């Protein structure tokens, strides 16, 4: 069953420097229990996509087009009260920096009990029990005692676990995780990935995992969508994308990752840098950096084409085609 | 191969002394005490000329502190640092000052290490003029040459740092370090803050510069993929101590220390398909209060009684070295 379906989402920022099309025609859908890896470099619009789903985009940004259907319900048409009831309840979000999302002057128990009671009429004791269970589930030792601690008394990895526990409190249908392990050490990152993987499997929660690191989602995601300059340039099953990328940008990203048995070789680098979002080139935004560019690419932006086996692509000269 | 840089038992202790109020509080029976952190505990290794040595470890393991001591930015508590045979441990000596010019450091965050109110021309050229490597009149040409070398357009020389992207700023940091014609570069997480595609560009730049300018690197990173790619030899640190040293290929193919094994196991891999994450249990203990014996024993799957009481020595075997009781008579 489809939990979330995003259709042609447009989120634009109206700045003094011009209109920035941070998200420009993004479409994807998510089945129950599915994990989607949303991959892109900074400024590609992946975070704004997540924020748009939760209606957390602040002015000068605005969702200017498209539809977001959550269990068939159009989120844009929902009154603010209804939307608030959804947030943190049916749809939860985990942010990159847990120190920014946890209130530093409140104990963990206060924050967790509040999150439960905001959505459900339960006693404080019952809410506390739920909080203890949630903390235990994300692997925090002696959860009942740790509940009395303040955020600064936890380490970075523990804080992120608390943030994940809070996201799990109300048993959401969808969790949007925005680079939750980027600030953590590898050993802690893999602990958290292991726990999230187990939780998604147990509870059937759908997950959107936003990251800049393809390697992180390689072992976690069912599907991967690669964003560049506000658009999904390639999407499909994780294994297909990783083993046979069709878009030159995806291939470039994979080639840019060091290690993996290519010791000392030159990395295949993508020349140039991410485009200025206020002044995107006409045509394909990746054209100035693309090794397979043609005049047609510079003139018209490629449309989404379905290439079979659940894959979609925005490219006039995919790697599956021989170089002209 | 003669050692260009030689570290012998280098240690750094950070102490927090009690202030007047805390001392008074203690006389009233408050539970406060002076705290000491052994940020780096007796590190010994060598870097040969032309070599790239990778220094890896998790946050808080002391790798940056070690880098800063080598650069002469932090005083050494104990041990000796030799640069080309000359003792440079005490940063105030003339010999150390002369050596320091040949050792330059590139930092993690280019925005906080470049003066926002100076133009690139001055940022890059200032030190070179001061040290007499160029004259004030020829500085612009000198800087233009450096900017070309690191892949920046020399026509940007009159701009300020905020007018550049993150990758370009890092290139400015590199140009500044190269301006005094160093032979040894310390890169402290120099690419960690960059996007993947920009990271690859900067890694390639480091490798080109190494070849063209005959540089030696101490490359500090928490990213094992980057280390595997760029380093000839790897030094692994855990909680202030060096636990393993090995040539890169041998380390990645057959790590000997349980910590290195676990660390390599955790690295996210590109291979598609769901993978089960095997995790090291627990977190890095607080360096304020490190566990006795081997610092890794509370998280080690192979730990025995000996590990809890006796700190293992770093035992050399050819090009490799490892500090683990398993390689020195067992853990029982």
Give the mean pLDDT of A265-294. Answer: 85
Q: Is residue B28 part of a domain?
A: no
Q: How far is A264 from chain B (nearest CA, A)?
A: 5
Instruction: Provide the number of structural domains found in chain B.
Output: 1
Strand bridging mode B216-221 / A2-15: unpaired
A259–B248 CB contact, under 8 Å: no
The average confidence (pLDDT) of chain A is 88
pLDDT digits (tens, 9 = 90+) for A26-50: 999 999 989 999 999 888 999 999 9
Of A257-266, B139-148, B205-214, the range with the lowest mean pLDDT is A257-266
In a domain, B29, yes or no: no
Burial A54-75 (b: 16+ CB within 10 A, else e): bbebeeebebeebebbbeeeeb
Question: Residue B113: its pLDDT value, please?
Answer: 86
Mutate to test the interface with A, among B54, B200, B250, B263 (most CBs of A within 10 A): B200
Hey, where are the domains in chain A? 1-84+204-260+268-324
Domain carrying residue B71? 3-17+37-327
CA atoms A178, A186, B252, B247: torsion sign: positive
**What pLDDT score does A258 carry?**
81
pTM, two decimals, is 0.84
Whether residue B26 lies inside any domain: the answer is no
Separation of alpha carbons B316 and B52, rounded Å: 20
3-state secondary structure chain A: CEEEEEEEEEEEEEECCEEEEEEEEEEEEEECCCEEEEECCCCCCHHHHHHHHCCCCCCCEEEEEEEEEECCEEHHHCCHHHHHHHECCCEEEECCCHHHHCCCCCCHHHHHHHHHHCCCCCCHHHHHHHHHHHHHHCCCCCHHHHCCCCHHHCCHHHHHHHHHHHHHCCCCCEEEEECCCCCCCHHHHHHHHHHHHHHHHHHCCEEEEEECCHHHHHCCCCEEEEEECCEEEEEEEHHHHHHCCCCHHHHHHHHHCCCCCCCCCCCCCCCCCCCCCCCCCCCCCCHHHCCCCCHHHHHCCCCCEEEECCEEECCCCCCCCCCC
Mean pLDDT, rounded, of chain B: 88
- Which pLDDT score, from 0 to 100, does residue A301 have? 87
**Phi, then psi, of B235 in degrees rounded to 5:** -115, 125
Tell me what pLDDT residue A247 has.
Answer: 93
Q: What is the pLDDT of residue B122?
A: 93
How much is the average pLDDT of B240-251?
Answer: 94
Q: Is the ipTM of this complex over 0.90?
A: no
| B60 in a structural domain | yes
Q: Do B228 and A259 count as a contact with CB atoms less than 8 A apart?
A: yes
- On whether any CB of chain A is under 8 Å from the CB of B167, the answer is yes
Q: Is B280 domain-assigned?
A: yes
DSSP bridge pairs for B170: none
Domain for residue B23, yes or no? no
pLDDT tens, residue by residue, B155-194 = 889 999 988 888 888 889 999 999 999 999 999 988 887 8
Q: CB of A44 within 8 A of CB of A11?
A: no
pLDDT band at B99 (very low <50, low <70, confident <90, very high): confident
- Summarize pLDDT for B33-87 with one digit per residue, the tens: 778 888 899 999 999 999 999 999 888 888 989 999 999 889 999 999 999 888 9
- Chain A with chain B: Cβ pairs closer than 8 A: 145
Q: Do residue A189 and residue B225 have CB atoms under 8 angstroms apart? A: no
For residue A324, the model assigns a pLDDT of: 43
Q: Which CATH homologous superfamily contains domain A1-84+204-260+268-324?
A: P-loop containing nucleotide triphosphate hydrolases (3.40.50.300)
Report the gap between the CA of B135 and the closest CA in chain A (Å).
Answer: 33
Give the pLDDT score at B160: 92
pLDDT value at residue B52: 94
Instruction: With a cut of 90, say whether residue B235 has pLDDT above it.
Output: yes
CATH for B291: 3.40.50.300
CA distance B39 to chain A (A): 18
Nearest CA in chain B to A262: B229
Q: Do B277 and A185 touch (CB under 8 A)?
A: no
- State mean pLDDT over A251-260: 83
Question: Is B229 within 8 Å of A194 when comparing Cβ atoms?
Answer: no
A268·B225 Cβ contact <8 A: no
All residues of chain B having their beta carbon less than 8 Å from the beta carbon of residue A271 are 201
B278 pLDDT band, cuts 50/70/90, is low
| Least Cα separation, residue A42 to chain B (angstroms) | 7
A217 contacts A37 by C-beta, under 8 angstroms: yes
């Amino acid at each position: 069953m489809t939990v979330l379906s995003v259709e042609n989402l447009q989120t634009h920022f109206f700045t003094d420097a011009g209109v920035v099309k941070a998200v420009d025609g993004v479409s994807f859908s998510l089945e129950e229990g599915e994990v989607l890896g949303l991959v892109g470099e900074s400024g590609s619009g992946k975070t704004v996509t997540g924020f748009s789903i939760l209606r957390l985009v602040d002015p000068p940004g605005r969702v200017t087009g498209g539809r977001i259907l959550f269990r068939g319900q159009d989120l844009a048409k929902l009154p603010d009260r209804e939307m608030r009831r959804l947030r943190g309840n049916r749809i939860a979000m985990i942010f990159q920096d847990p120190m920014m999302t946890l209130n530093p002057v409140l104990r963990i128990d206060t924050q967790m009990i509040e999150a439960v009671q905001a959505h459900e009429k339960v006693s404080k004791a019952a809410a506390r029990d739920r909080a203890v269970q949630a903390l235990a589930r994300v692997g925090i030792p002696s959860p009942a005692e740790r509940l009395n601690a303040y955020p600064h008394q936890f380490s970075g990895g523990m804080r992120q676990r608390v943030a994940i526990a809070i996201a799990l409190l109300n048993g959401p249908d969808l969790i949007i995780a925005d680079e939750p392990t980027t600030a953590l050490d590898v050993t802690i990152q893999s602990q958290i990935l292991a726990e999230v993987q187990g939780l998604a499997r147990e509870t059937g929660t759908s997950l959107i995992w936003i990251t800049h690191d393809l390697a992180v989602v390689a072992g976690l995601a069912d599907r991967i969508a690669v964003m560049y300059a506000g658009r999904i340039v390639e999407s499909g099953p994780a294994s297909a994308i990783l083993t046979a990328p069709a878009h030159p940008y995806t291939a470039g990203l994979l080639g840019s990752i060091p290690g993996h048995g290519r010791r000392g070789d030159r990395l295949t680098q993508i020349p140039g840098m991410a485009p200025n979002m206020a002044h995107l080139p006409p045509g394909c935004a990746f054209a100035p950096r693309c090794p397979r560019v043609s005049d047609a690419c510079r003139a018209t932006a490629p449309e989404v084409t379905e290439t079979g086996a659940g894959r979609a692509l925005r490219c006039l000269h995919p790697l599956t085609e021989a170089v002209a | 191969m003669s050692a260009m840089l030689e570290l012998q038992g280098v240690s750094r202790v950070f102490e927090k002394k009690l202030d007047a109020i805390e001392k008074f509080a203690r006389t009233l029976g408050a539970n406060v005490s002076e705290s000491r952190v052994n940020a780096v505990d007796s590190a010994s290794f060598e870097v040969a000329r032309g070599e790239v040595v990778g220094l890896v470890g998790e946050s808080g393991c002391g790798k940056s502190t070690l880098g800063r001591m080598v650069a002469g930015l932090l005083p050494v508590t104990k041990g000796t640092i030799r640069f080309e045979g000359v003792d440079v441990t005490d940063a105030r000596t003339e010999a150390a000052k002369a050596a320091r010019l040949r050792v330059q450091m590139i930092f993690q965050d280019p925005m906080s290490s470049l003066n926002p109110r100076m133009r690139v021309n001055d940022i890059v050229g200032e030190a070179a003029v001061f040290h007499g490597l160029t004259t004030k009149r020829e500085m612009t040409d000198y800087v233009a040459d450096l900017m070309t070398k690191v892949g920046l357009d020399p026509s940007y020389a009159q701009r300020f740092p905020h007018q550049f992207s993150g990758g370009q700023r890092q290139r400015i940091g590199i140009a500044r370090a190269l301006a005094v014609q160093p032979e040894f570069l310390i890169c402290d997480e120099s690419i960690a803050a960059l996007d993947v595609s920009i990271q690859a560009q900067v890694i390639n730049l480091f490798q080109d510069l190494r070849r063209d300018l005959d540089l030696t690197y101490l490359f500090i990173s928490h990213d094992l993929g980057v280390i595997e790619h760029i380093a000839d030899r790897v030094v692994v640190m855990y909680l202030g101590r060096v636990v393993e040293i090995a040539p890169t290929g041998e380390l990645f193919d057959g790590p000997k220390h349980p910590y290195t094994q676990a660390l390599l196991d955790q690295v996210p891999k590109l291979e598609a398909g769901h993978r089960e994450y095997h995790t090291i249990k627990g977190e890095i203990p607080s360096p304020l209060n490190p566990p006795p014996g081997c610092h890794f024993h509370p998280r080690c799957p192979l730990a025995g009684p000996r590990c809890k009481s006796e700190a293992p020595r770093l035992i050399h075997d050819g090009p490799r070295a490892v500090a683990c009781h398993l390689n020195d008579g067992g853990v029982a």
